[in-house]
Amino acid sequence: MPKILVCFPEGKHKALTMSYDDGTTADRRLVSIFNRYGIKGTFHLNAGLFGTGNRLTEGEAPALYAGHEVSAHTLTHPTIARCPKEQIVHEVIEDRKRLERLIGCTVRGMSYPNGSFNAEIKRMLPLLGIEYARVVQTTGAFSMPDDWHEWKPTCHHNDRLLERAETFVGLHKTQYLYLMYVWGHSYEFDNDSNWELMEQFCERVSGQENIWYATNLQIMDYMGAYSQLKFSAGLDFVYNPTAASIWLSVDGNIVEVKGGSQTSLASNSNINV
């Protein structure tokens, strides 16, 4: 029986994702840095607050965030654990509706405004079309989430970011899946006068052959597609009912399981059905 491990795309065993809240004008500079280094970000926006204070205008958002993920952050950023259920439904659904009209694709993720959530809200979110939600509590580790609706990042960008980057780049044990997840607010770089921190971080982690640079949603979707694979009882072959390719390590060899196909795990040859 072969020994099988799930990999990230193209057989990689590390992934990096960035998560930034509120949609302020400082996102212009942050997105520019990400684009320069090939880093992917998820930007959690309040559709009801566009153009207020130091926030971006509605018209600017689609072009700015092209190539990244736009995610929900509720319509007006209330502390939702203190709100009635009816208000929570309105805040989430209206945020989704307005953002989806703006960017032309389905919004399926969220970060909790003010870090506010509870067990009841977590149970509500799937019914509102939210498939993952990020919290502000961090792990300090490079682990995959065990609860997509309480997705804990590795660190805030002001928490030993460059030290953690060095550790992450140096991780080499391919028997593990590693995920570095950084969160924050772009306006904090202005407040703290430390934009060089993000420049140095992106320069250090970019261009690594064993790192997948992905949005929050891409990571969740990939792992969801992996969970739908249909393995034979003897692990001789696997059927992939999804449209996405999934990569596996089979006895140390990288195998692509293409969408809509059955793949032999004994000979590493594809059998289309």
Q: What pLDDT is recorded for position 267?
A: 57
What does the pLDDT read at residue 272? 40
pLDDT of residue 7: 98
Average pLDDT on 52-60 reads: 97
Does an H or E element contain 190, and which? helix 187-192
Q: For the segment 154-164, what is each residue's pLDDT rounded down to a tens digit?
A: 999 999 999 99
**Positive or negative: CA dihedral 128, 121, 69, 230:** negative
* CA 169 to chain CA centroid, nearest Å: 19
Average pLDDT over residues 60-67: 98
pLDDT digits (tens, 9 = 90+) for 65-96: 999 999 999 999 999 999 999 999 999 999 99
**pLDDT higher than threshold 50 for residue 194:** yes
Q: Determine the Cα–Cα distance for residues 208 and 129; give it in Å rounded to an integer.
A: 34
Query: Which residues are CB-neighbours of 148 under 8 A, at least 6 positions away?
Result: 131, 132, 133, 220
Any bridge partners for residue 239, and if so which? 230, 262
| Distance separating the N- and C-terminal Cα atoms of the chain | 23
Please write the tens of the pLDDT for every residue from 106-149: 999 999 999 999 999 999 999 999 999 999 999 999 999 999 99
CATH topology of domain 13-223: TIM Barrel (3.20.20)
Q: Which parts of the chain are beta strand (E)?
A: 4-7, 14-21, 41-45, 69-72, 109-111, 132-134, 155-156, 178-184, 211-213, 230-231, 237-239, 246-250, 253-257, 262-264, 270-271
The Cα 12–Cα 7 span in angstroms is: 6
**Nearest 5 degrees, angle CA 217-CA 222-CA 224?**
95
Using alpha carbons, list the distances in angstroms from residue 56 to 59, 239, 270: 8, 45, 48
Per-domain boundaries in the chain: 13-223, 229-271
